[in-house]
Amino acid sequence: MNKEAMKMVKAKDLTYEYVRVLETDHGTKEEKVAALKNVNIEINKGDFVAVLGHNGSGKSTFAKHINALVQPTGGTLWVDDMDTKNDELVWEIRQTAGMVFQNPDNQLVATVVEEDIAFGPENMGVEPKEIRKRVDEALATVRMSEYATHTPSKLSGGQKQRIAIAGVLAMKPKCIVLDEPTAMLDPVGRRDVMETIERLNREEGITMILITHYMDEAVRADKVFVIDDGDLVMQGTPKEIFSQVETLQKYGLDVPQVTEVAYLLRKEGVELPADILTIEEMVGAICQLKSTT
C-alpha cells in the first residue's frame, strides 16, 4: 500500500466561505465570512481522531465537508481518494464516510428501530435479505438487539445515539464522522456512546473522527486537531496537545481536569510531568514524587 492510500481523509488548503446578511440601520449589508481557512489535515485509516474547538470555530463545518453535505469554496478534500467536489461520487462518499449528528431525535427517520437502521442500506439499493442481515449485525454491534422492534421515541438519548451509529454501520462505512454525539446526553449515555465508538475503532478498524468540546473524550484519541476561528492551530497526540495548557486556554478550550490540577501544582513548584491526562497517570506521578523525596 503506498502512502497516499493510507489516508482516509486528506484536506489541502480547504476553505469554506459563506455570505452572511447583516441587518444594520442603513438596510442590509452582505459580509463574507470564512468558516474554514486553508486547512490542511491528513487523517490515517483506522485512526481515532478528535477535532476540538469552541462553538463557532468551524469544526462542524469541517465535519460536514467529509460527508459532502457541504462543498469547499476553495482547496480540495479527499475522502478515501475521492474528491468531494465530484458530484458523481457524492453517494459513494456518503457511504464511505457515515455521519452521526448531535441531536439524537433529529436523525432517526422511522417509527421502529430496525426500520430506521434499514434506512441507509435501503437508500443504497441493497437486497432485502442482505439488509436484514446488516440490520441484525449492526444492532448486535451496538448491543441494542433487544430493542429491534421498539419505537425510538421511547428510548433514552444514549440509546438513540447508538441506534444512529448502528444506522451508519449498516451502510458498511470505512469512516464515521461524529459531530458532538454526546453533547445532549447524560453521563451514562455519554459513557455508553464513547465506549461504542472506541470499540468500533478497535475491533472493526473503522476510522473515527470525533468532533467534540469535551476534553476527556479527546484524551482517548490517537490524534487531536484543534480548530480555532477556521484555522487549524494545533495538531498532535493528546499528550502533546494537552501539555500546552496556556495555548489551549487562549483558544477558549479547557484541558482535562487532571491535567489542569497537574498544571496548577507545577505552578506551585511541585515537580510533575506536564503531560498527565488520566487519573491513573496522576496517581503514578504523585507516588513517584513521594518516593524520590
Q: How far is the CB of 270 from other proteins (least distance, A)?
A: 47
Closer to other proteins by Cβ: residue 62 or 263:
62
Closer to other proteins by Cβ: residue 90 or 265:
90
- Which of 146, 128, 142 is CA-nearest to residue 176? 142
Strands (E), 174-255: 175-179, 207-212, 223-228, 231-236
Q: What share of the chain is helix, strand, coil (3-state, %, to 5)?
A: 45, 25, 30
Closer to other proteins by Cβ: residue 175 or 215:
175
The amino acid at residue 107 is: Q
Q: Which of 4, 29, 86, 91 binds other proteins (CB under 8 A)?
A: 91
82-83 and 74-79 strand pairing: antiparallel
Q: Which of 11, 35, 77, 99 binds other proteins (CB under 8 A)?
A: 99
The answer to the question of residue 123 lying near other proteins (CB under 8 A) is yes
Q: Which of 4, 81, 105, 195 binds other proteins (CB under 8 A)?
A: 105
Length of the chain: 293
182 Ramachandran zone, left/alpha/beta (phi>0; psi -120 to 50):
alpha
The answer to the question of residue 122 lying near other proteins (CB under 8 A) is yes
Residue whose entry in the numeric block shows the C-alpha cell 496522576: 282
- Which of 152, 85, 78 is CA-nearest to residue 119? 152
Q: How far is the CB of 266 from other proteins (least distance, A)?
A: 43
Q: Among residue numbers 126 through 165, which ones bind other proteins (CB under 8 A)?
A: 126-128, 131-132, 135, 151-153
The answer to the question of residue 18 lying near other proteins (CB under 8 A) is no
Binding interface with other proteins (CB under 8 A): 64, 67, 69, 91, 94-95, 98-99, 101, 103, 105-112, 114-115, 118-128, 131-132, 135, 151-153, 167-168, 171
